[in-house]
Amino acid sequence: MGRLITLSILFCLLFMQAGFANAAEVEIFGIADDEEVRRSLSAEARIRLDSTLYRIDYKTGFASLVGPVGYHGCGGLDFHPITGQLYATCLGESHNPVLLNVDPYTGYGTKIFELQFENGDFGVIADISFRYDGTLFAYIESMAESYLAIINMHTGLIQNLGPVGILGEGNGIAFNDVLYNAQTDLLPTLNVLDQTNGAATFETNLIVPPPADDFPVIYSMDKDTVNNIFYGALDNQTVIYTFYLVTIDPDSGQVDLIGETVEGLQALAVRNPRISNVPTLSEYSMIALAVIFLGSALIVLRRRNQKIEA
């Protein structure tokens, strides 16, 4: 009987500890150019800068160096919602787009494919975002006409879904139930992109507070699905470019500045606490099991005391 009580209490403590561990704080990673020269270079020269992976504090925006990616011109970064692996889109030696698997502990990027545009299309991958089912979407900026695309994870083909119908800067994208796009023309706006034909529908104006409101450009977005928060990499393009980690409320359009972050931040990805290659119970299931085990131990203990008293 004593062993049963002891085991029940131990199980209770283990499940409670596991439940609290499962509610770990969110992690944010970003890719930036590793030299503070973006603001003085031409657009063509910027994309040739080597890129570096950083871990970004979601409370302050402070960026801690992880390591070099080994490629340049990285514009897209996202965690696969099923496998938890980190992927990036960058430029290879021939300046053609490549899809990388990035090690979040070293920053090193392993090339999976040199990406191929279909039907003679071309453009620059501004940002990427995985849908819940693992489909990888990309926003392609083109001088002729920007468009939404799907990157085939098995072949490396970039499939053009259709023109977005708007032309602005930034063009970070992120999934909720819909696919959001943040772009700045005269004013920063949030749009919804049709996942079948790419067409953009205006959602709301973005309200950016000072000192980041001169010409704010959001290069990348991603969602913390546990806490339902959208994060963004914002560049205030004035005489001196300043980069911020921000949160974005898609309902009101309010943008809140968390803090200044690494110079040249182009891509952002949120690793949610629940992403794991090992199946785990949710925190609510953990708590429920803890209550069951604790209740069982108390019942056994009460019965034992009753027998002693008798």
Mean pLDDT of the chain: 83
Per-residue pLDDT averaged across 56-70, rounded?
96
Confidence label for 220 from pLDDT (cuts 50, 70 and 90):
very high
Residue 233 pLDDT > 70 = yes
Region label for 134, one of left (φ > 0), alpha (ψ between -120 and 50) or beta (otherwise): left
- Least confident among 16-30, 70-84, 126-140, 176-190: 16-30
Q: Which helix H or strand E contains 296, and what residues bound it? A: helix 283-309
The string of pLDDT tens digits covering residues 125-140 is 999 999 999 999 999 9
Predicted local confidence at residue 275, as pLDDT: 47
Confidence label for 23 from pLDDT (cuts 50, 70 and 90):
very low
| Residue ranges of domains in the chain | 25-272
**Contact of 263 with 38, CB cutoff 8 Å:** yes
Confidence label for 272 from pLDDT (cuts 50, 70 and 90):
confident
Confidence label for 16 from pLDDT (cuts 50, 70 and 90):
very low
Q: Name the CATH architecture for the domain at 25-272.
A: 6 Propeller (2.120)
pTM above 0.75, yes or no: yes
The string of pLDDT tens digits covering residues 105-118 is 999 999 999 999 98
* Cβ neighbours, 10 Å, residue 105: 11
* Cβ neighbours, 10 Å, residue 29: 24
Predicted local confidence at residue 157, as pLDDT: 96
Cα four-point dihedral sign 157, 166, 127, 170: positive
Predicted local confidence at residue 310, as pLDDT: 53
